[in-house]
Amino acid sequence: MKKRIMIIGPGQAGKSTLANVLNGATRPLKKTQDVIYGKNTIDTPGAYLENASMYKYLIATAQAASHVLLLIDQSRPAAVYPPGFAKSFTCPVIGVVTKIDVTPANADWCRQQLKKIGIAGPYFRISLHDNTGVADLKDYLLGKQETSETK
């Protein structure tokens, strides 16, 4: 079974847009209602993060993931993850700060949140508007995936 990259984050943080980029797809963007399995990704609804009773579904779904990306929206600083949340997953968890082109003053706050939720690194800072940092994230994730599949 192919392992996919699971994307978790609050509503409007860029999960589906990032999934499209990682899948090389152009799926129409609308509010994600259910878990969507793409070529390389597992796109999760923001509502699953907003309701603590849904955490168990995120954790169970992550069993099919090679990595979990926890997104933080730099344009809307809000503590949406409980402390230590990253420790709930058995695969590597990577912090991704989205919308870095918006509200740059929030950058330090985002880094502090990633540490609070238990991500030691790596952290990727991206803009899906102008693609800043996207190539580095893609190379890190898909390059690793391809080398593990060819072993």
**Residue 74 to residue 106: CA distance in whole angstroms:** 6
Tens of pLDDT, residue by residue, the chain (151 residues): 568 999 999 999 999 999 999 998 776 666 667 899 999 999 999 999 989 999 999 999 999 899 999 999 999 989 999 999 999 999 999 999 999 999 999 999 999 999 999 998 889 999 988 999 999 999 998 775 443 343 3
**Residue 52 to residue 143: CA distance in whole angstroms:** 33
pLDDT digits (tens, 9 = 90+) for 105-126: 999 999 999 999 999 888 999 9
pTM score over 0.85: yes
Could you tell me where the beta strands, DSSP code E, fall in the chain?
A: 4-8, 36-37, 41-43, 65-73, 93-98, 123-125
Please give the domain boundaries of the chain with CATH numbers for all domains.
4-149 (3.40.50.300)
Q: Which residues of 22-57 are buried (b: 16+ CB within 10 A; e: fewer)?
A: bbeeeeeeeebeeebebebbbbbbbebbeeeeebee
